[in-house]
Amino acid sequence: MALPPLVEPAAELSVDEIRRYSRHLIIPDVGMDGQKRLKNAKVLAVGAGGLGSPTLLYLAAAGVGTLGIIDFDTVDESNLQRQIIHGVSDVGTPKAESAARSIAEVNPLVNVVVHNTALDRDNVKEIFSQYDLIVDGTDNFATRYMVNDAAVLLGKPYVWGSIYRFDGQASVFWEEHGPCYRCLYPEPPPPGMVPSCAEGGVLGVLCASIGSIQVNEAIKLITGIGEPLVGRLMVYDALEMEYRKIKVRKDPNCALCGDNPTVTDLLEDYEDFCGAVSEEAQEAITGSTISVRELKDWQDSGKDIFLVDVREPAEWEINRIPGATLIPKGEILSGEALAKFPQDKQIVLHCKSGVRSAEALAALKTAGFKDAVHVQGGIVSWVNLIDPSLPSY
């Protein structure tokens, strides 16, 4: 479905701009009019990470006049495998500022607006209202739902992308012309069901594949060319090198954009809506949580514990807490590994940050291991507070 251009064209292009964008100008579908629309467009990238990196670089190169960047994180060495907008010298600096410097090198004609802050319920509407189009490159469900809800409430289109290991997805959500994210995913998955990229990994180049699709869709929306992915979900399998398109219809029962919406404003707490951990896990960890310092004290005192790492084998190869035994969470939840747990030792579970170990703890307690505990903060806290010589990821 072709849509009208999102923005009006700018008054003119300078001589420098004509030279810079000449390869666009000779494409009949873009031409002078399309490039002027790009110049007049204001686009916000939510996140300057894996997807935000190629998105920002190519939007800048394409000549989008105003680029907003919102990201509160700092550059970490583990980001450099995929977040190509940052370099070694940027480690430790705010991602939004690092991205702005890279954009200036790519195209100094672009006006860059830095929002070095966390996107939240209090600022999302005010920030979104400054832009014509939102490009969402976030990696957590709480922010995805908030971005969607704010965009629908403000009548803004946004381009969405998601990546995990070798798989990627992309779509365009615009309530005025098609479904919203809630039509596709009415509810978030159960906590712990879908690992984050930090937990499950992502092929670095996948960011470029999905990020370039997002930029392509943004350009089509701004200039009014082609058929945007409104009402269609693009699914990419990098291992099979296969693209599939799935139709997504507007859901008349959607809580946000349906015929009788029940969500008429931003939620009070998106983290609570998506759930950091399940209710069962929350109940299980209450009174059964120890810190990494307590774990170290137990080890140093010779306490008879059975320390279990519930991460995946690939993560185990990167780093591990001394004395731990690897039993992946899936084997615990399925019951397959329950026979491996001794009845006469203090069972201690840990994962990377504490989410997966909480879910595994709930399963163990249900199976009768009432005295089992889990480690708050997981191996991330162990590296930060106990043994910084271990590699992080």
CA distances from 39 to 66, 111, 160, 175 (A): 8, 10, 22, 25
Query: Catalytic annotation on 207?
Result: no
Catalytic residue, candidates 197, 207, 257, 274: 197
The tokens describing 148, both together, are 């969607």
Catalytic residue, candidates 180, 254, 257, 351: 351
Q: Report the alpha-carbon distance of residue 41 to residue 227 in Å, rounded.
A: 19
The tokens describing 152, both together, are 């629908």
Identity at 258, one-letter amino acid code: G
Query: Catalytic annotation on 351?
Result: yes
Which residues are known to be catalytic?
197, 351
